[in-house]
Amino acid sequence: MSKRIETDRTMHSTSPASTRRAGRRHPLAAASLLVVGLLATGGAYALATTSATAETTTASAQLVEEGGKLFAANCATCHGLQAAGTAAGPSLIGVGALAVDFQVGTGRMPAAASGPQAEVKPVQFTQEQIDAMGAWVAELAPGPAVPPERYVSGDGDAALGAQLFRINCAMCHNVAGAGGALTQGKYAPSLAGVDPVHVYGAMATGPQNMPVFNDLNLTPEEKNDIITYLKYLEQNPSVGGFDLGALGPVSEGLFIWIFGLGGLVAVTIWLTAKSN
């Protein structure tokens, strides 16, 4: 009988309930594992971010240094070693990377000679060199930066762009973007075939005789609408016959004077000679 009682006690002590109580985890075990996982993940992310930031900073420093060398060799004669300007060239402090991209990227700078305005000519630098000089100038003081691709993609509202162009640009560049003459030997250039980034850069920086259209005058989206309109003009030539250079009443009046009146005179002479 005593053996049976001992056996029952043994079976009771090793029951499933007692086994569960003996194998139960500590209440803080799950929280501890979660904290360890978060710390490990955060540490790995911080290490990767720090490495990437260090690499970016090093690359930017190298780009600025290379830009400074290019500037000293090609631009400092007119603009000064610190770009503060001289009698031969204006200060570039605060013009930003976008002004450098426009002036150098269109070949206007370095200027071949002094004159009413810088002429467009073949570009003398690669885009990487232009970006380096722009980065160096941008380090001098804040200024307009090269816009993101979405603002120069030309996929905006062409109708709105046409309206904005007529209001803000057509008085100099002609409603068809063909350009026109200004005073004292200056002129508004044709906008046909101009890189969209340079069109944006001209509006944002106001080179030479052009006014500055900052984001309060024309938002980046509206600038893209104007670019869209200019691209539309390139893709859709005049549907009304000869556009005569799209220069408006000047070329049209000259055409009528020479060919219209000339034709009438010729017909008159022919009719008179026939009657005689």
Task: Decide whether 35-146 matches 148-263 in CATH topology.
Answer: yes
Query: pLDDT, tens digit, for every residue of 152-170?
Result: 999 999 999 999 999 999 9
- CATH 1.20.1080, applies to 148-263: no
Taking only the tens place, the pLDDT of each residue in 175-199 is 889 888 888 889 999 999 999 999 9
Residue 101: the pLDDT is 96
Domain ranges of the chain: 35-146, 148-263
- Select from 3.40.50, 1.10.760, 2.60.40, 3.90.1070 the CATH code of 35-146: 1.10.760
When pLDDT is averaged across residues 101-129 and rounded to a whole number, the result is: 91
Q: Let me know if 134 is exposed, middle or buried by CB neighbors in 10 A (0-12, 13-18, 19+).
A: buried
What are the tens digits of pLDDT across the range 56-85? 455 588 999 999 999 999 999 999 999 999
* CA 137 – CA 91 distance, rounded (Å): 11
The token pair at 269 is 């002479």
pLDDT digits (tens, 9 = 90+) for 212-267: 999 999 999 999 999 999 999 988 876 556 666 655 666 667 777 787 888 888 88
pLDDT at 90: 92
